[in-house]
Amino acid sequence: MKRSKPINVLVTGADGQLGRCIKDLENQYSNLNLMFVNRQDLDITDEQAVASYFKQNPFDYCINCAAYTAVDNAETEKELAFKINTEGPKYLALACKEHAVVLIHISTDFVFDGQQKTPYKESDIPNPLNVYGVTKLKGEDVIQQLLDNYFIIRTSWLYSEYGHNFVKTMLRLAETRDEIDVVSDQIGTPTYAKDLAHVLLNIISRQQKHYGIYHYSNDGAMSWYDFARAILRGKHIKVTSIPSEMYKTGALRPSYSVLDTAKIQDKLKVDISDWEISLRKALTLYMSREK
C-alpha cells in the first residue's frame, strides 16, 4: 500500500557536491520531504547538537553527505578528519538508533589498498593506505556496530558541476595551460554525483529494506590520465601521461580501486550508467551554467 504521508529525510553536508546534487533532484521525488543542513545548521561532530536536532525534528531517513575529503591535508589534519569522518557518523548513528531512523552513509574506495587487480567486492577486506581512508573505514565500523538498519554506499572519483573535483580542475587548467601532466598508473572509476544522488533518493522512495554495505560507481575503469583526456577532448591542450612517483602527494593512493557494483544492481535494482555518458551529461550541464 502506498504511503500517504511524505517520508522525512535529513541531508547533512548540504553545501557539498553530493548534497547540492540531491537538492537539484528534490522536485523529482514528491513523496520525500527533504531537509538540508550544512555545518552551520548542524555540526555533526557535536554529539549534543545532533541528539537535540533529532529530538526536535522527526526523520525517517538521514543521508550523511558530510565528510572531510581533503585526502592530502588529512595526513596533517588527522584530528579534524577523524572528528568529521568517524565521530560525526557515530553521533548520527546514535541519534538514528534512538529515533528509529535509517542512516544512509557515503563512504569511499579509499578504504582499499589497491593491491587487487579485479574490482573490489563489498566482502573484500579493507586496508586503507592513508589517514582519510582510515577515518572513513572507522566511520563505517562504528555505524555497523551501532545500527542494524543502515546503508553504507562506497563510491569513487566523485565529480559534478559543484565544489572541488577532478573534472572542474582539468577544465580550469585547460584555460591557462598548453600542456598538463596526469598520472596513468592509478586505475579507478569516475562517478557523477547526480547519478549517485538519484540512487540514494530511489533507495528511500522505494523503501528498500536490504540493508548493508554497497558499492556504487559509474560503469567502466580507467586511469586519471584516460579520464583527463576524455574531459579535455576537443580542447587545445596536450595531456601527458606520467607515473605516480613523478607527482608527489601528501597521501598514498591505491593504484587500483575499481568497485564491483553487482550487489547494488542485484539487491537494490540499481541501473549503472556508463562513465562516458554521465561525463557528457555533466559537461553539457557545466558548460550551460558557465555561459
Residues marked active site are found at: 132
Phi, psi of 279 (to 5 degrees): -60, -45
Q: Name the CA dihedral angle for 156, 237, 291, 201, rounded to a multiple of 10 degrees.
A: -10
Cα separation, 114 vs 125, in Å, equals: 11
From its phi and psi, is residue 214 left (phi > 0), alpha (psi between -120 and 50) or beta?
beta
Contact 229, 174 (CB under 8 A): no
Where do runs of H (alpha helix) occur along the chain? Answer: 17-24, 47-56, 78-82, 88-99, 131-146, 166-174, 193-205, 224-231, 262-267, 275-290
Q: Is the dihedral of CA 274, 277, 281, 283 positive or negative?
A: positive
Q: Which of 132, 166, 126 is nearest to 252 (CA)?
A: 132
Name the grid cell of 99: 529515533
Contact between residue 54 and residue 95 where contact means Cβ atoms under 8 Å apart: yes
Rounded Cα distance, 16 and 106, in Å: 12
Of residues 179, 174, 197, 176, the one with CA closest to residue 28: 197
Phi, psi of 64 (to 5 degrees): -95, 100
Question: What is the rounded distance in angstroms from the CA atom of residue 174 to the CA atom of residue 271?
Answer: 33
